Structure 1
Amino acid sequence: MNNLKSTITTTPPHTPEPLPDFKAPVFKDGALVLYFHPYNFYSQKVLLMLYEKNLEFTPYALDLSNGEQYSSWFLNINPKGDVPVLQDGPFIIPDSRHIMNYVEDKFRSDKHQAFKSYNFTAKEYEKLQRFDKLLAQVPVGALSLGSFIHEDLKLAPKPPFIGPVRKACIKNNEKVYELLKKSIEEAEVNKAALLRKLEIQDQRRRVVYSRVEFHKILDNVYNVLYTIETDLKENPDREWLITDKLTLTDIAFGLLLHRLYQLGFENYYWGYGKLPHVESFFLRFRKRESYQKLVPTNFEILKDMWQKTPSNYKIGAGAGVLGMAMFAAFAHK
């Protein structure tokens, strides 16, 4: 990979105002509710699966940059203060991996596409496990934030993540970091989970502001892509990673490619014939109806999801579409 020149500027710490008093939303009994953010990578994985299964659900988009994930009502749902979280009546399921397994196990019928197969061969199952492990090792949040910090990468980011928005992402990430520290100071219970999250955030900050450490992330991503490229090349007649049917592994890989594409890494990694089978996979993935619903043009996804979120429960509802704090979502897990 190309060497990176250091063009890093740091943002001075920002001391936020006290955490806003967000009110807990109320939904009808038995509703399937997804607490999420449309530009959060892990939320996107769950969203795309719900679309693939044609499930009716109520989306609730959290205002990440103003600290709604650290409000008392949300910490009662998920003490880690992370999105996404799925609520199915009385059941609360945090973490995208657990959510996707829950949804797959509960909604298996002719009406809902199945992503797990009980007919995998030993070789297919081994490959699925290996690819899942590879993809889980990619630090998507650090990759995203670092791409904004290291401007010398000569990327081709896609709207709206261009120009001043990239600087706003860095600024809002600092704000969210300070909000996390503030929430720890005010926390009366579940402080351990937030302290662990602060530790992870501290590690991420050290990595993304270091040219050497961020370069290691870029090399790790390339190794993942090259491994999958080699497998796809050896199986040119297979449509997806494991079989001809889409799996949860395909969703994870397709959305990783989508994130790289939005950040402007496509020419850095697979363009100009570098990884042609990976590129072909992404082109197939982008044609799926679920992908089109997840990533429509311009700000349609933000507008649609924000309008569907019960606005009377949100302090910042009057701020409009950008009030969703899209800027913080890229680097926030």
Structure 2
Amino acid sequence: MQLYHHPFDLDSQKVRLALEEKGIDYTSYHVNPITGKNLDASFFKMNPSGRLPVFQNGSHILYETIDIIQYIERIAEVSSGAEGISVSGREVIEWMRKIQEWDPKFFTLSYIPEKYRLYTSKFIRRVLIARMSESPELAGAYHRKLREAYQTEEKLKDPDVLRRSKEYLDRLLDEVERQLSETPYLAGQEYTMADVMLIPVLARLVLLDLQNEYMADRPNIFEYWVLVQQRPSYKKVIGKYFDGWRKHKMLLKTWCFVRIRSLLKKY
């Protein structure tokens, strides 16, 4: 089994947490979308959307986060030798879908300094044009991705886009806060795939230094956040990359790559 992902990608974190919690062995491939590695022809042929993560088991390839996690659950149950195959129940799946409905893309981009965001966006567009000429058989898919890049910049100029994203996030966190006032975990007394979906959202808020804005007035979420950070899966999937100097090292390395490639005009 192979997973194409990146440590900072929120959906990748969800899938990796599921893999770690279920004890599934897999081969890890880092694909950095900021440097355009998700646009290389070898990856793009497998997933023309260029989005992460991608999970491959033999000829079976999955792209949707919830589908991947449910597939992982089935693999874990079969591997355990259990007589019946059980996956997440209705309540867990409802939470998973609610959380997945929040798209962190515009929310995250709005907190990145404009000069860095625009520089990286320009770099990605040039990578797309270069790949389009290198792989003409994929020109249509690359063109759609190029159009998406332009549309993203246009949508970021629309204040309603960010407002809707923030409003959904607030409603979601309010609902989570109410639930955590009754149970220690999101779907009850036990840690489930619903928690796997939620933890990267909270980690993203911390990464953007927004924990005071979104967690300080939600004491149950704050207590929950402290609790889940103690899990080995969190430490391996998120803590390893977000604690201390490691976060800055990865960001600096990525930025240097983009700058050097831009200066050399090698896309």
8 Å contact 1:131–1:249 — kept in the other structure? yes
Q: Contact conserved, 2:185 with 2:224, CA < 8 A, in 1?
A: yes
What is the CA distance between 1:262 and its match in structure 2? 0.9
* 2:197 pairs with 1:252: yes
Residues 142 and 181 of structure 1, relative CA distance in 2, 3 Å threshold: farther
Unaligned runs of 5+ in 1: 1-31, 151-166, 307-319, 328-333
The yes-or-no answer on 1:284 pairing with 2:227 is yes
Q: Measured at CA, do residues 92 and 65 of structure 1 come closer, stay the same or move farther in structure 2, by a change above 3 Å?
A: same
Q: How far apart are 1:47 and its partner, in Å?
A: 1.3
1:134 aligns with 2:86: no
Instruction: Identify the residue that residue 206 of structure 1 maps to in structure 2.
Output: 154
Residue equivalent to 1:218: 166
Question: One-letter code of the match for 2:42?
Answer: W
What is the aligned-residue RMSD (CA, Å)? 3.3
Q: Which runs of 5+ in 2 are unaligned?
A: 259-267
C-alpha displacement at 1:276, in angstroms?
1.1
1:267 deviates by 0.7
Question: Is the Cα contact below 8 Å between 1:115 and 1:246 reproduced in 2?
Answer: no
1:103 aligns with 2:51: no
Deviation at 1:195, TM superposition (A): 4.6
Matches within 5 A, 1:143-158: 143-149=107-113
Aligned-pair distance for 1:170?
A: 4.8
The aligned counterpart of 2:212 is 267
Q: Deviations over 1:273-307 (max 9, x none)?
A: x111121222222111100111223465899xx9x
Partners of 1:206 and 1:196 in 2: how far apart? 15
- Aligned to 1:64, the other structure's residue is in SS state coil
- Relative distance call for 1:215 and 1:195 in structure 2 (3 A) is same
TM-score normalised to the size of structure 2? 0.79
Which AA in structure 1 matches 2:95?
F
TM-score, normalisation: structure 1: 0.65
Matched positions, count: 252
Shift of 1:67: 2.3
Q: Counterpart in 1 of 2:2?
A: 33
**Residue 96 to residue 132, structure 1, CA distance change in 2 (3 Å):** closer
- Say if 1:104 and 1:268 are closer, same or farther in 2 by CA, change over 3 A: same
| Structure showing greater relative contact order (alpha-carbon pairs closer than 8 Å, 6 or more residues apart) | 1
Identify the structure with the greater helix proportion.
2
Whole-angstrom CA distance in 2 between matches of 1:38 and 1:326: 17
SS at match of 1:148: coil
In the alignment, does 2:116 pair up with 1:116?
Answer: no
Measured in 2, the distance between the counterparts of 1:197 and 1:115 equals 38
Give the letter for the 1:49 counterpart: A
Per-residue CA deviations over 1:218-251 (Å, capped at 9, x if unaligned) read: 2221111112212322x2xx22111222222211
Amino acid at match of 2:29: Y
Deviation at 1:115, TM superposition (A): 8.4
Q: Once the two structures are superposed, what CA deviation does each residue of 1:53-84 show, in whole Å capped at 9, x if it has no partner?
A: 22222211124333221222112221222221
Residue aligning to 1:155 = none
Query: What's the secondary structure of 1:107's corresponding residue?
Result: helix
User: Which letter does structure 2 place at the counterpart of 1:252?
Assistant: M
Give the conservation status (yes or no) of the 8 Å contact 2:106–2:161. no
Which secondary structure does the structure 2 equivalent of 1:138 belong to? Answer: coil
